[in-house]
Amino acid sequence: MTQTISINNSQKLLIEPLSMPSRLLLGPGPSNAHPAVLQAINTPPVGHLDPAFFAVMDEIQSLLRYVWQTENSLTIAMSGTGTSAMEATIANVTEPGDVVLVGVIGYFGNRLVDMAGRYGADVRTITKSWGQVFSLDELRTALETHRPAILALVHAETSTGARQPLEGVGELCREFGCLLLVDTVTSLGGVPIFLDEWGVDLAYSCSQKGLSCPPGASPFTMSSRAWEKLQKRRTKVANFYLDMTLLSKYWGSDRIYHHTAPINMYYALREALRLLAEEGIENSWQRHQQNVEYLWQQLEDLGLTLHVEKEYRLPTLTTVRIPDGIDGKAIARQLLLEYGIEIGGGLGDLAGKVWRIGLMGFNSRKENVDRLVAALRQVLPK
Amino acid sequence: MTQTISINNSQKLLIEPLSMPSRLLLGPGPSNAHPAVLQAINTPPVGHLDPAFFAVMDEIQSLLRYVWQTENSLTIAMSGTGTSAMEATIANVTEPGDVVLVGVIGYFGNRLVDMAGRYGADVRTITKSWGQVFSLDELRTALETHRPAILALVHAETSTGARQPLEGVGELCREFGCLLLVDTVTSLGGVPIFLDEWGVDLAYSCSQKGLSCPPGASPFTMSSRAWEKLQKRRTKVANFYLDMTLLSKYWGSDRIYHHTAPINMYYALREALRLLAEEGIENSWQRHQQNVEYLWQQLEDLGLTLHVEKEYRLPTLTTVRIPDGIDGKAIARQLLLEYGIEIGGGLGDLAGKVWRIGLMGFNSRKENVDRLVAALRQVLPK
């Protein structure tokens, strides 16, 4: 080895091993991981083409189908966080010129608009004020007007805490010959979802909310209708990392290498899904609903106002209006630094107007509500 | 909660907690993670906007600059495996119609060709047979012929085990007014790299090889010259997840949310980089070189032939010709299942012709060579 260049040590840090503060994560995500999931994540990795790893992948696929209530063959975990799975839905079925109709009821609807545009879609939008949801009639009118190839909706709008009902939307989409794409980032695991019953063709989620896993491996699923549109493309998917034709050959029986999977993240995700199956998905949904109703009552007892109408509130994420004259950021900072509790602030139209409180996955427990409410009692002006 | 649809339990698996076999990973990657890195990865996550997490991100940035020997401000970890960081380099600086010249000396050169095409580049290639590398004269002639906007080379071709010398290439690229993009997936941490001295404008790597970390967070860096090309784009980057203008606002002082980072992967990467700084990057390079020379000697003593000319062999990855009449796949399978040792087979032009043996990061140790050679002695025909 010849080496004539001298080493630059200006960026060399000599630091101590990691030491992180303890936080109760009650914001919009990430949520705390289940202790058993953290135990699984530090299993020494095997290779991404090891038969023992293929077995883990198969288990993940089955369990993802279960928690999403779908029989979609192509149901996998993407090797990135939720935004990568979101982009995977758009990238695979959007061809330049396709009309993509996005229902925008918050920040993540706008993100879908941005993404679809990057893939050359003719993007149309329908909007509601942040915190509201669309009716079936409104969606029908929009489909009549725009005749899209894809209708994209956000089931659980993380920026507003609103739950978009999806019953009947799949039938509408079949009537108008379009695919139904749904964001379930803040609903999977904590909010009733019946992808097949609802006729959803593409969905994505994340690991760090209702699944009680750290972020870094993200659920993706597509129906046979969506797969057909992918197979009929005239152009390659404009994204290599997220190309589902290639990925299906790694997750399917061919086992053809595409990229090195994030092995330990999949270990964690498998354990998270295993725990959810052990609990029973319907029991998890019920637990989230019970604990959030307790939270709502406690917050209202504190004199606070909830932003979303009760019927459409998410059991996983609650938006609370910041009372007049209160510095919302300062309160959140105080909760974090003095009480070790993270809650979120508002995004976009709701910036400065709401706090976002998550009770998701492992964190949806009564004692966490009590701990938060006790802290709020201390930090809010009397 | 009204719920009238019955639960489909057909995909519900009731399985045991994870139990994986123990493997010594001596293939082309992943490599075994350092035990201290596996300890860091199961630290309970904090939020991606927590000040304590921003400190971790800052440390990662500095330490990545150190191991790459660069002062590039935009030096970060991508939230995906190496292929996502590879795609990030292409996606951010390629505009439709740009001439991208790729030096193809193996599988990953072809992957760059595929990716650049997806982003609308006018892709040109120069090729060598798998196992060889380009001379400066050959690169000069190619630059004269193609006048590209970007020259893309693979420093460490994981499919062949060849090391492409880069001394003088950056100067050539400045002479011809193009950017230099380099794949360092199998070199970072284990092979001398001097990005700034060599005038490299864009580079990417992975976490699971020379850095001794599990896969899932991937180093990316770009020079101010590359940043200028990005800022002059006429079109948005055709990829949201990898958009460096947005990512720079999260990794920089603005701290604007872009996507939820894979928190625990960053914990692991920080520890991996910390250990490398503690060892000293030059000592790590030397350790890799010493151990691989010991491996080469042992393999030749077994009567095996190494595929790449000694001068251009990677210290991290060695390709060994499969002797005539031997079923390479069967040998690799026997090593895995009977000895718990993973080695790799050939890819593309070298499929069925070579084994690939990695000694990377934590795994570059004499005792691992001894264990592998002892096993090979058993399984190879006398």
How high is the ipTM of this complex?
Answer: 0.97
A208–B contact, CB cutoff 8 A: yes
Is A271 in contact with B7 (CB distance < 8 Å)?
Answer: no
How open is the CA angle A281-A282-A287, to the nearest 5 degrees? 95
Is the model's pLDDT at A4 over the cut of 80?
no
User: Do residues A29 and A36 touch, judged by C-beta distance below 8 A?
Assistant: no
What confidence tier does A80 reach under pLDDT thresholds 50, 70, 90? very high
For the domain that residue B40 is a member of, what is the CATH number? 3.40.640.10
pLDDT in the model for residue B382: 78
A11 lies in some domain: no
Is A10 domain-assigned?
A: no
Smallest CA-to-CA distance from A155 within A188, A129, A125, A122 is with: A188
Cβ atoms of residues A103 and A134 within 8 Å:
yes
Three-class DSSP category at B87: helix
Give CA–CA dist B346/B216, Å, rounded. Answer: 24
- What are the helix and strand counts (H, E) for chain A? 13, 14
Name, in order, each residue with C-beta under 8 angstroms of A157's C-beta and a sequence gap of 6 or more: A105, A106, A107, A108, A109, A130, A163, A164, A183, A186
Answer whether A285 sits within 8 Å of B1, measured CB to CB. yes
- Chain A residue numbers with beta carbons less than 8 Å from the beta carbon of B335 are none
Please give the residue of chain B at the shortest CA–CA distance from A115: B240
How far is the C-alpha of B91 from the C-alpha of B83, rounded, in Å? 12
Give the residue from A18, A60, A283 with the most B CB atoms within 10 Å of its CB, the best one to mutate. Answer: A18
Backbone Cα Rg of chain A:
22
Interface of A with B in 273-332 (CB under 8 A): 274, 277-278, 281-282, 285-286, 289, 315
Mutate to test the interface with A, among B18, B87, B118, B200 (most CBs of A within 10 A): B18
Tell which of A277, A298, A319 closes a domain: A277
Q: Cα(B250)–Cα(B244) distance, rounded to whole angstroms? A: 10
For residue B364, what are its two tokens?
Answer: 């570059």
Using a CB-CB cut-off of 8 Å, the residues of chain A touching B21 are 46, 50, 52
- Residue B262 to residue A29, Cβ atoms within 8 A: no
| Residue at token pair 């993407």 | A78
Judgement on whether residues A64 and A210 belong to the same structural domain of the protein: yes
CA B381 to chain CA mean position, Å: 34
A189 inside domain: yes
Q: Report the range of poorest mean pLDDT among A1-15, A115-129, A285-299, B163-177.
A: A1-15
CB contacts of A277 in chain B (<8 Å) are 12-15
Q: Which of A:330-359 have CB within 8 Å of B?
A: 336, 342, 347
Beta-carbon contacts of B55 under 8 Å, excluding residues fewer than 6 positions away, are: none
The pLDDT of residue B295 is above 50: yes
Phi then psi dihedrals of residue A201, to 5 deg? -100, -30
> Would you say residue B8 lies in a domain?
no
Strand ranges across the sheet with B317-321 = B317-321, B354-358, B344-345
Structurally, how many domains does chain A consist of?
Answer: 2
User: A247 and A154, same structural domain?
Assistant: yes
Find the mean pLDDT for residues B294-308.
98
Nearest C-alpha neighbor of B45 from the set A243, A329, A32, A132: A32
CA distance A205 to A183: 7
- Same structural domain, A194 and A316: no
**Which of A259, A277, A295 is where one domain is finished?**
A277
**Each residue's pLDDT tens digit, B87-102:** 999 999 999 999 999 9
Please give the average per-residue pLDDT across B152-163, as a whole number: 98
Q: Which domain holds residue A365?
A: 24-30+280-379
> Are B287 and B249 found together in one domain?
no
Residues 6 or more apart in contact with residue B265 via CB below 8 angstroms: A214, A216, A262, A265, B41, B77, B79, B207, B214, B216, B217
CA distance linking residue A225 with residue A246, whole number of Å: 18
Note whether residue B362 is domain-resident. yes
Residue A261 shares a structural domain with residue A298: no
**Same domain for B162 and B103:** yes
pLDDT at residue A216, rounded to an integer: 98
Residues A135-160: pLDDT tens digits? 999 999 999 999 999 999 999 999 99
> Could you tell me the pLDDT band of residue A2, with boundaries at 50, 70 and 90?
low
Q: What is the pLDDT of residue A207?
A: 98
Same domain, A246 and A286: no
Task: Please check the confidence at residue B3 and state whether its pLDDT lies above 60.
Answer: no
Q: How many Cα atoms occupy the beta-carbon half-sphere of A226 within 13 Å? A: 32
| pLDDT value at residue A1 | 47
Identify whether residues A129 and A231 lie together within a single domain: yes
Chain A contact for B183 (CB, 8 A cutoff): no
A367: in domain: yes
| Residue B356 marked ligand-binding | yes
B17 pLDDT more than 50: yes
Q: What is the pLDDT of residue A10?
A: 95
Q: Cα A43 to the chain's mean position, in Å?
A: 25
Q: For residue A342, which residues of chain B lie inside 8 Å, CB to CB?
A: 46-47, 50
Are residues B247 and B103 part of one domain?
Answer: yes
Question: Which parts of A244-371 are beta strand (E)?
Answer: 317-321, 341-342, 344-345, 354-358
Q: Hey, are the CB atoms on A263 and B342 less than 8 Å from each other?
A: no
The answer for residues whose C-beta is within 8 angstroms of residue B204's C-beta and 6 or more apart is B78, B82, B85, B86, B88, B89, B183, B184, B185, B218, B219, B220, B221
| Side chain identity at residue B227, one-letter code | W
A2 in any annotated domain:
no
Q: What is the CATH number of the domain that holds A361?
A: 3.90.1150.10
pLDDT at residue B49, rounded to an integer: 96
Task: Please name the residues in contact with A305: beta carbons below 8 A apart, sequence gap of 6 or more.
Answer: A320, A321, A323
Contact list, A55 vs chain B (CB under 8 Å): none
Q: Is A20 on the interface with B (CB under 8 A)?
A: yes
CA A217 to chain centre: 11
Q: Does residue A97 register a pLDDT over 80? A: yes
Which chain A residues are closer than 8 Å to B281 by Cβ?
7, 12
Q: What are the C-alpha distances in Å from A197 to residues A167, A193, A247? A: 8, 9, 26
Band the pLDDT of A3: cuts 50, 70, 90. Answer: low
Tell me which residue of B283, B284, B272, B279 sits closest to B60, measured CA to CA. B272
Average pLDDT over residues B271-292: 98
- Both B134 and B265 in one domain: the answer is yes
Q: Kindly state the average pLDDT of the residues A125-141.
A: 98
Q: Considering only CB atoms, which chain A residues are within 8 Å of B50? A: 21, 23, 336, 342
Shared domain for A233 and A134, answered yes or no, is yes
End-of-domain residue from the set A277, A299, A316: A277
Taking the C-alpha atoms of residue A217 and residue A207, their distance in angstroms, rounded to an integer, is 6
Query: Is residue A13 in a domain?
Result: no
Are the CB atoms for A172 and A192 separated by under 8 Å? no
H/E run at residue A150:
strand A150-154
Model pLDDT for residues A23-66, shown as the tens digit of each residue: 999 999 999 999 999 999 999 999 999 999 999 999 999 999 99
Percent of chain B with pLDDT over 90: 98
Q: Which amino acid is at A31?
A: S
Mean pLDDT of all residues in B50-62: 98
- Within an 8 Å CB–CB cutoff, is residue B209 touching chain A? no
- The β-bridge partners of A285 are none
Q: Nearest C-alpha of chain B: how many angstroms from A339?
A: 14
Cβ neighbours of A321 (radius 10 Å): 17
Do A266 and A289 belong together in one domain? no
Tell me the pLDDT tens digit for each residue of B335-346: 999 999 999 999
Strands (E) in chain B, as ranges, are: 24-25, 74-78, 99-104, 122-127, 150-154, 156-157, 162-163, 179-183, 202-204, 218-222, 317-321, 341-342, 344-345, 354-358
Set of chain B residues whose Cβ sits within 8 Å of the Cβ of A82: 259-260
pLDDT of residue B1: 46
Q: Residues 212-231, chain B: which have Cβ within 8 Å of A?
A: 214-216
Rounded Cα–Cα distance for residues A100 and A102 (Å): 6
Q: What is the pLDDT of residue B2?
A: 53
Tokens of A104: 């925008």
The pLDDT assigned to B4 comes to: 76
Task: List the end-to-end C-alpha distance of chain A, in Å, as a whole number.
Answer: 70
Inter-chain CB pairs, A–B, below 8 Å: 303
**Residue of A19, A43, A218 to mutate, interface with B, max B Cβ within 10 Å:** A43
